[in-house]
């Protein structure tokens, strides 16, 4: 088994399944009262299991078989043991209530979001926080130029995703927050459906409807409920996200609706977060390859824990994680699964 980084694996998750699972993310956190550095570093190991037909490779990890016998087949499973690394670095200017940040947020593991963020947050007089960030992925994924080729090896091509994130947290000192993220999806040598066109299975105009280049728009709204009693804290965070994938191919364009519920239980010695979500993807037009309009049900759950201050070290925590994710499509070719079982050491400062 080959080893690869957490960032690469998280990119796999998003590239394959476009799963999302929302928890109380860093853009919604309060800015510290003192100037200086803050953040976290985590490292450990995990076991991943991935199924997908559209992505060829991320870094050194081969996601799927280059050759498929039939377009009616669901994806094969790939399992890997991998080291895990994640980080987030902030610097706060307390006098101006400004914070600069760089890194991948802890909650991105559960959100299935591969993004690294470089940006700035500004607290306003009413204690709400405005943020803007450049969004990018540290690795370039490799997808199949034409994923619909049968009975011979499929060639790969690079896909890059970059964009901008705007956030408005703790709106008017309330527990409401939202963020908008724009991403541009660029596939270097897109050839989806070319072989089927050559074979006379679909027309040229039908091939053009399979183009995966384009733009992604995400709007997320959440509310945080907090109660404290007897030295413990309970936090409930329901959220809704709407995404529009405005791709060049009309058959690949779709609306995505996501409902999520996160619960956190926090004590002096340990903390646990439970997360569950359900999403529905509604595609615009009938797929010419499979003769029907694609519909996906995307769902999953995650359990994330912290056993705090191990070995008597303040800020050092043992950090287990289990996340199970499914994308159940009415077209078998597009079905996806991603599971992760991990254990890390987490240091916050």
pLDDT of residue 17: 37
Compute the mean pLDDT over every residue in the chain, rounded to the nearest whole number. 86
The label of the residue with tokens 């779709």 reads 254
pLDDT digits (tens, 9 = 90+) for 305-331: 999 999 999 999 999 999 999 999 999
CATH code for position 109: 2.40.160
pLDDT band of residue 106 (cuts 50, 70, 90) is low
Q: What is the number of other CB atoms lying within 10 angstroms of the CB of residue 156? A: 18
Question: What percent of the chain is modeled with pLDDT above 70?
Answer: 87
In a domain, 1, yes or no: no
Q: Which pTM does this prediction carry?
A: 0.86
Q: Is pLDDT at 114 greater than 80 in this prediction?
A: no
In a domain, 140, yes or no: yes
pLDDT band of residue 116 (cuts 50, 70, 90) is confident
Strand partners, 16: none
In a domain, 245, yes or no: yes
Q: How many domains does the chain have?
A: 1
In a domain, 316, yes or no: yes
Strand partners, 326: 299, 337
> Domain limits at 157?
6-348
In a domain, 163, yes or no: yes
pLDDT of residue 224: 92
CA-wise closest residue to 260 among 224, 232, 233, 296: 224
Rounded-to-integer distance, Cα 249 and Cα 253, Å: 6
pLDDT of residue 11: 40
Contact indicator for 264, 25 with CB cutoff of 8 Å: no
3-state class of 8 per DSSP?
helix
pLDDT of residue 60: 60
In a domain, 41, yes or no: yes
pLDDT band of residue 85 (cuts 50, 70, 90) is confident
The DSSP code for 23 is -
Question: What percent of the chain is modeled with pLDDT above 90?
Answer: 65
């Amino acid at each position: 088994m080959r080893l690869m980084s957490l960032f690469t694996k998280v990119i796999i998750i998003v590239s394959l399944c476009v799963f999302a699972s929302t928890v109380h993310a860093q853009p919604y956190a309060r800015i510290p009262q003192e100037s200086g550095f803050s953040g976290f570093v985590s490292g450990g190991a995990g076991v991943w299991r991935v199924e997908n037909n559209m992505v060829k490779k991320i870094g050194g990890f081969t996601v799927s078989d280059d050759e498929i016998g039939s377009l009616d087949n669901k994806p094969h499973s790939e399992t890997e043991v991998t080291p895990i690394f994640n980080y987030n670095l902030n610097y706060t200017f307390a006098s101006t209530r400004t914070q600069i940040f760089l890194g991948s947020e802890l909650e991105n593991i559960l959100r299935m979001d591969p993004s690294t963020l470089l940006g700035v947050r500004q607290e306003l007089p009413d204690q709400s926080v405005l943020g803007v960030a450049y969004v990018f992925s540290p690795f370039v994924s490799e997808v199949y130029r034409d994923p619909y080729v049968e009975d011979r090896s499929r060639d790969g091509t690079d896909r890059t995703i970059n964009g901008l994130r705007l956030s408005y947290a703790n709106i008017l000192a309330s527990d409401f927050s939202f963020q908008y993220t724009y991403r541009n999806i660029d596939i270097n040598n897109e050839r989806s459906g070319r072989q089927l066109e050559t074979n006379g299975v679909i027309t040229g105009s039908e091939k053009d409807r399979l183009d995966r280049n384009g733009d992604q728009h995400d709007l997320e709204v959440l509310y945080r409920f907090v109660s404290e009693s007897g030295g413990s804290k309970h936090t409930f965070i329901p959220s809704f996200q709407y995404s529009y994938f405005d791709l060049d191919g009309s058959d690949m364009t779709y609306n995505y609706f996501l409902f999520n519920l996160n619960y956190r239980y926090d004590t002096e010695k340990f903390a646990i977060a439970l997360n569950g979500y359900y999403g529905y993807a509604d595609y615009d037009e009938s797929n010419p390859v499979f003769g029907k309009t694609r519909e996906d049900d995307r769902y999953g759950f995650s359990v994330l824990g912290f056993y705090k201050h191990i070995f008597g070290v303040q800020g050092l925590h043992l950090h287990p994680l289990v996340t199970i994710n499914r994308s159940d499509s009415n077209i078998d070719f597009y079905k996806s699964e991603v599971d992760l079982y991990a254990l890390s050491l987490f240091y916050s400062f």
